[in-house]
Amino acid sequence: MEHQLPPGFEAAGVHCGIKRNPQKPDLALVVSRRECTAAGVYTQNRVFGAPIAWNRQITPSNQVRAVVVNSGNANACTGQRGLRDAEAMAQAVADQLGCRQQQVLVLSTGIIGQYLPMDKIMRGIAQAREQLGASQDHLLQAARGMLTTDTRPKLASARFSTTRGQDVPLCGIAKGAGMIAPNMATMLAVVMTTAQLAPEQAQQMLHQAADETFNCLSIDGHTSTSDAVLLLATGESGPLEQEDRHRFQAALHQVCEQLARQIADDGEGITHLVQLDVEGCPDRQTARQVAKTVAESVLVKTAIAGGDPNWGRIVSAVGYAGADVPLDRLVLEINGVPIYAQGGPCTFDAQGLAQSMKQQRLVRIRLDFQQGEARVRFWTTDLTVEYVRFNSQYTT
């Protein structure tokens, strides 16, 4: 699918020198030609980067003009100097666009505890301003400017028609490959749309979409210091009727889910993407509690890495999840094959299922407690030797 910036937005991605490789962009700029509604959902880690502190003061808002992103340096654990640097980034963009500092949101991602090279960033902001455009390549370069350990950019799109026949596009870009865990946010993402939304309405819709997608994603169980998801809405498509708002929520969910899956699929050193469906629960929170526990089990993740249908590890993880679910009704399937039901093992071809797990990148695990209607889809990955090697040498 080809991805396009919604009308009214421009973007750019440049290399300003934070990263050593001159072929890798490390600064991105997204600009709305008019003041737009902006909402944000941020990391719940009590240790958070300076840009998070800045953005929390601003969102939700109906006057935002731009988002500036640098990669390679998180500007986290940098004290008052870090706060001043984040504010300086916002002011530099404001000067370039002729707007106010409080109309610019800031995102930073990368190594924790290092000061930003502000001279390079200032030059990069001026360069990005000169290179702004609305083409597919401009969007792709901005998506690349957000990346750290990612192997590829993440982009997603959706659109719907209003009851008045107005076309409403949505487009999102994201980064994330490691230090990924639920408890919003767990990566960086910017979603743009022409929908007309009030600030509090946008905030509520983004919170719901994030809770159902990015909060159902875990690679390593580590909530980052710098993560954020932003929603920018220009209002060019006009007001939304009640039915239109439902359509927009569905489209926003679609974009966020596509980005969440791409983040999981690009996990550092992984060999398997895992789709975990927990069904038949009394409420969604219970389903999510079970899913998160299973998804973050090191023993479950290593079994998947080896293609081992070790149902005992999955069932025991359910048992210590602390969720009030009927274990005697549990049905467990891997790749559509029932392997455990009603308290005991099923007869199945273990070698055949193992081959299926080894040969397919996507492994599907289904847990059905047959107690209620609540369900959740959770994304995770396996755990490999390559993941350990990569993260043992991240800063050295």
Catalytic positions:
186
DSSP 7: T
Cα angle 332, 335, 339 (rounded to 5 degrees) comes to: 35
d(CA 332, CA 310): 11
Which whole-number Å values give the CA distances from 197 to 32, 167, 205, 211, 224, in the listed order?
Answer: 15, 15, 10, 19, 29
Q: What is the dihedral of CA 182, 187, 191, 196, to 10 degrees?
A: 50
CA neighbor of 31 nearest in space, from 155, 137, 109, 125 = 125
CA neighbor of 185 nearest in space, from 44, 325, 301 = 44
Kindly give, in sequence order, each residue whose CB lies less than 8 Å from that of residue 84, ignoring residues fewer than 6 positions away: none
Buried b (16+ CB within 10 A) or exposed e, 24-51: bbbbbbbbbeeebbbbbbbbebeebbbb
d(CA 297, CA 306): 15
